[in-house]
């Protein structure tokens, strides 16, 4: 298992946090995701054989948020 930490900009409330958490947990290879509003970040545990930080970043951006 690998861990990635991404800064997620554009979240304004706990609804946003819940949305990002759900989309990350639904991504192939993700075993856990913890998203916080302050600081605005996502800590993601994933199987490197199934996904990578670039794909996770893209999933967040496809949902309308900024990820770095």
Per-residue pLDDT at 27: 97
Residue 51: per-residue pLDDT: 98
Q: What is the pLDDT of residue 57?
A: 98
What confidence score (pLDDT) does residue 13 get? 97
State the pLDDT at residue 9: 98
> For the chain, which ranges sit under pLDDT 50?
none
Does this model's pTM top 0.85? My answer is yes
Structural domains of the chain in order of their starting residue, each with its CATH number: 7-27+41-67 (3.30.70.100)
The token duo for 51 is: 């996904």
């Amino acid at each position: 298992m690998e861990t990635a930490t991404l800064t997620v900009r554009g979240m304004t409330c706990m609804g946003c946090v819940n949305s990002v958490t759900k989309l990350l947990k639904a991504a192939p290879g993700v075993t856990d995701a913890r998203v916080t509003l302050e600081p605005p970040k996502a800590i993601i545990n994933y199987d490197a054989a199934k996904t990578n930080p670039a794909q996770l970043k893209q999933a967040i951006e496809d949902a309308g948020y900024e990820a770095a």
